[in-house]
Amino acid sequence: MKKADVVKHFGNESAAAGALDVTKQAVNGWGEIVPEGIAYKAQVITGGALKVDPAIYRKIKKNRMAA
C-alpha cells in the first residue's frame, strides 16, 4: 500500500496518523510503502477502501533475503 494513497484517503499525514493510531513522525518516516501491519490495519479501518497488495510485501521480503 502506498503512503500517498493512505494520506490522500485520510486527508493529510496528521489525520492518517490519528486514524491508524501512530504518530505523525511514524507516517512521515514510512517512505513510499506503508509497513505491512499498518497497511492491513488501514484496510480494515477503511472497510476495504484502501486495499493491501500482498505482492508488494512479498517482493520487499524477497529483496531483503537476497541482500
Contacts of 60 (CB under 8 A, 6+ apart): 33
What is residue 52's three-state secondary structure?
coil
Q: How many CB atoms lie within 10 A of CB 55?
A: 8
Q: What is the pLDDT of residue 67?
A: 77
What is residue 33's three-state secondary structure?
strand
3-66 to CATH, choices 3.10.450.750, 1.10.260.40, 2.60.40.1170, 3.40.228.10: 1.10.260.40
The reply to whether the predicted model has a pTM over 0.85 is yes
Distance CA(36)–CA(58), nearest Å, equals 10
Task: Tell me the pLDDT of the chain (67 aa) as tens digits.
Answer: 999 999 999 999 999 999 999 999 999 999 999 999 999 999 999 999 999 999 999 999 999 998 7
Domain ranges, ordered by start, for the chain: 3-66
Distance CA(46)–CA(9), nearest Å, equals 9
